C-alpha cells in the first residue's frame, strides 16, 4: 500500500522553490533538497526512527541539478525510498545514491538549455519588443511588458516542474524515455528560431515606422541589426556566451563615452 499521497508530492514540490535558499559551495543544493523531501521521508519511515535518520543522512549529501527539473529527481527518489526494501539498508542506499547521481547531470543539462538559453531570453525579448514598439513615453506599457514576460517565463516553469514531479513518481522507470518523447531539444530550437524571427521583424519595424524614422533611431536600428548578426556568427563559431556578453558590454561602454 502506498504511503505517499498526491498532496505529499505537491507539498514537497512547493518546498522546492527554496531549493537554493541554503546553497553552499561544498554540497551545493543539498540542504534545500533535504528540506523538500523531508515530509515524504517522515511519512515513509514513521515507525522506523533508524531508517528515518539514515535517509536524512543520505540526502544531506551532494545534490545539484537544474532548479526547475529538480522535481523529477525528487519524484524518482521519493518512489525509491518508498518501494525499495529496507531489509538491506546498504543496498538500498547504494541504489538510491546511484540513481540520484545518474539523473542529476542529464536533468541539469536539459534544464539549463531549455530555460537559460531558450525560455528566459525569449520572455525578456518579448517584453523589450512591447516597450520599444509601444513607445517609452507610455508608463502603463511597462506594466504590460513585465506581466507578459513574467507569464511567458513562469507558465512553462510551473507546468514542467509539476508535470515531471508526478510523472517521475508514478512512472519513475520510464523517466528518461518520457523526457525523450517530449523532445525538449526540438522545443528549444523552435523557441530560438521564433525569437530570432521576432527580433528581425522588430528591427525592421523599428527602422521603417514613420514615427521612428529619424537619424538617431535609424542608426540605432543598424547597430541593433549589426549586433544581432555578429552575435549569431560568434555563436556559430562556438564562442562562449559569457565572452560575447563581455565584449558587447565593453563596446557599448566605449560607444556611450564617445557619443
Q: What is the tens place of the pLDDT at every residue in 157-189?
A: 888 888 888 888 887 777 666 666 666 677 777
Is residue 66 domain-resident?
yes
Question: How confident is the model at residue 217, as a pLDDT?
Answer: 53
Helix axes 30-44, 49-59, angle to 10 degrees: 160
Tell me the pLDDT band of 63, cut-offs 50, 70 and 90. confident
Is residue 196 domain-resident?
no
Mean pLDDT to the nearest integer, 127-143:
70
**Phi, psi (5° rounding) for residue 73?**
-65, -40
Length in residues, the chain? 259
Is residue 132 domain-resident?
yes
d(C-alpha 104, C-alpha 162), whole Å:
17
Is residue 119 domain-resident?
yes
Is residue 203 domain-resident?
no
Question: Which residues contact residue 110 at a Cβ distance below 8 angstroms, ignoring those fewer than 6 apart?
Answer: 66, 69, 179, 184
Mean pLDDT to the nearest integer, 144-156:
86
Mean pLDDT to the nearest integer, 74-86:
85
Is residue 78 domain-resident?
yes
CB 174 within 8 Å of CB 166 = no
Question: How confident is the model at residue 207, as a pLDDT?
Answer: 57
More confident residue, 4 or 200: 4
Query: In this structure, what C-alpha cell is assigned to residue 35?
Result: 528540506
Percent of the chain with pLDDT over 90: 0
* pLDDT at residue 49 tops 50: yes
* pLDDT at residue 2 tops 70: no
More confident residue, 248 or 209: 248
Is residue 60 domain-resident?
yes
d(C-alpha 94, C-alpha 75), whole Å:
18
* Mean predicted lDDT score pLDDT of the chain: 77
Question: How confident is the model at residue 106, as a pLDDT?
Answer: 80
Question: How confident is the model at residue 213, as a pLDDT?
Answer: 45
Tell me the pLDDT band of 134, cut-offs 50, 70 and 90. low
Query: In this structure, what C-alpha cell is assigned to residue 100?
Result: 540520484
- If one counts every other C-beta atom within 10 angstroms of the C-beta of residue 73, the result is 27
Per-residue CA distances from 181 to 174, 186, 189, 248 (Å): 10, 10, 15, 38
Q: How many domains does the chain have?
A: 1
- pTM of this prediction? 0.69
CB 106 within 8 Å of CB 176 = yes
Is residue 216 domain-resident?
no
Tell me the pLDDT band of 214, cut-offs 50, 70 and 90. very low
Question: How confident is the model at residue 202, as a pLDDT?
Answer: 67
- Write the pLDDT tens digit of every residue in 94-131: 888 888 888 888 888 888 878 887 888 888 888 877 77
Q: Which domain holds residue 113?
A: 1-181
Q: What element of type H or E holds 30?
A: helix 30-44
Question: How confident is the model at residue 259, as a pLDDT?
Answer: 61
d(C-alpha 192, C-alpha 232), whole Å:
11
* pLDDT at residue 215 tops 70: no
Amino acid at each position: 500500500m502506498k504511503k505517499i499521497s498526491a498532496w505529499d508530492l505537491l507539498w514537497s514540490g512547493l518546498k522546492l522553490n527554496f531549493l537554493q535558499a541554503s546553497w553552499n559551495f561544498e554540497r551545493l543544493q543539498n540542504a534545500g533538497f533535504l528540506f523538500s523531501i523531508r515530509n515524504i521521508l517522515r511519512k515513509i519511515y514513521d515507525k522506523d526512527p533508524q531508517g528515518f535518520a539514515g535517509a536524512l543522512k543520505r540526502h544531506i549529501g551532494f545534490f545539484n541539478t537544474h532548479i526547475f527539473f529538480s522535481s523529477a529527481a525528487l519524484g524518482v527518489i521519493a518512489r525509491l525510498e518508498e518501494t525499495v526494501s529496507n531489509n538491506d539498508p546498504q543496498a538500498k542506499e547504494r541504489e538510491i545514491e546511484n540513481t540520484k547521481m545518474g539523473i542529476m547531470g542529464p536533468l541539469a543539462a536539459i534544464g539549463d538549455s531549455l530555460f537559460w538559453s531558450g525560455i528566459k531570453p525569449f520572455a525578456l525579448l518579448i517584453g523589450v519588443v512591447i516597450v520599444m514598439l509601444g513607445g517609452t513615453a507610455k508608463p502603463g506599457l511597462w506594466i504590460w511588458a513585465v506581466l507578459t514576460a513574467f507569464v511567458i517565463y513562469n507558465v512553462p516553469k510551473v507546468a514542467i516542474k509539476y508535470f515531471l514531479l508526478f510523472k517521475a513518481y508514478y512512472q519513475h522507470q520510464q523517466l528518461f524515455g518520457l523526457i525523450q518523447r517530449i523532445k525538449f531539444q526540438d522545443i528549444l530550437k523552435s523557441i530560438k528560431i521564433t525569437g530570432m524571427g521576432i527580433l528581425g521583424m522588430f528591427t525592421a519595424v523599428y527602422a521603417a515606422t514613420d514615427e521612428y524614422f529619424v537619424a538617431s533611431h535609424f542608426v540605432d536600428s543598424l547597430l541593433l541589426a549589426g549586433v544581432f548578426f555578429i552575435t549569431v556568427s560568434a555563436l556559430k563559431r562556438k564562442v562562449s556566451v559569457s565572452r560575447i556578453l563581455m565584449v558587447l558590454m565593453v563596446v557599448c561602454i566605449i560607444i556611450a563615452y564617445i557619443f
